[in-house]
Amino acid sequence: MMDTKPEPQGAVEEDRAMAEELKGVPEEMLQRNDAEETSATEEVAALRDQLEAAKQEVLYAKAETQNVRRRLEKDIADARAYAATGFARDILSVSDNLARALDSVPAELREDEKLKGLLAGIEATAREIEKVFGLHGISRIAAVGLPLDPNQHQAMMEIPTNDAEPGTVVQEMQAGYMIKDRLLRPAMVGVAKKPD
């Protein structure tokens, strides 16, 4: 059973007054008002659709802006981290030449008093280069005794031997280097193979 509350007296009187007013209005005007109301409702619906579409476009634009910002931040971080890459590649040849100079001095000349100062200077320079490499995240790639890693080693020749498993690096012809987590220069190596 439904409770029906009587309408307040004022509301009933307003409804009666409105009905009286509408009695004198021609039917054509009432239909026109209905058409205008329908038109206004359609316009409101269209505006709501446009508003929703605009909200979606704003969300997409915000997401794209955020993606661009993240990419730029990564590019800036990479530029800072790897700015010295070109210079580091160039200076590797200087390091190689110092190592070759030290390796080329025979043992009997190392004891010569006249050459000790020169050799000490070359060794100090080589140590200083290694220290600077370390400060800038440049590290030497381990090679001899390890399996060939095509991401870090460049096989220059195969060496027949029974002393190592095939595919193992047995000789390093030129040292390889990494700068942080990127390859700066691959190590040039000789790889073991089974003798014929």
pLDDT at 102: 87
Tens-digit pLDDT profile for residues 5-22: 555 566 667 666 666 665
CATH topology of domain 85-193: Nucleotide Exchange Factor Grpe; Chain A, domain 2 (2.30.22)
The 3-state DSSP class for residue 152 equals coil
Q: Are 124 and 102 in contact (CB under 8 A)?
A: no
Residue 194 pLDDT > 90: no
Letter for the amino acid at 14? E
**Looking at the whole model, is its pTM more than 0.75?**
no
| pLDDT bracket for residue 106 (50, 70, 90) | confident
Residue 114 pLDDT > 70: yes
Tens-digit pLDDT profile for residues 115-154: 888 888 888 998 998 998 888 888 898 888 888 888 889 8
Parse the chain into domains and list their residue ranges.
13-78, 85-193
b/e code 142-164 from CB counts within 10 Å (16+ = b): ebeeeebeeebbeeeeebebeeb
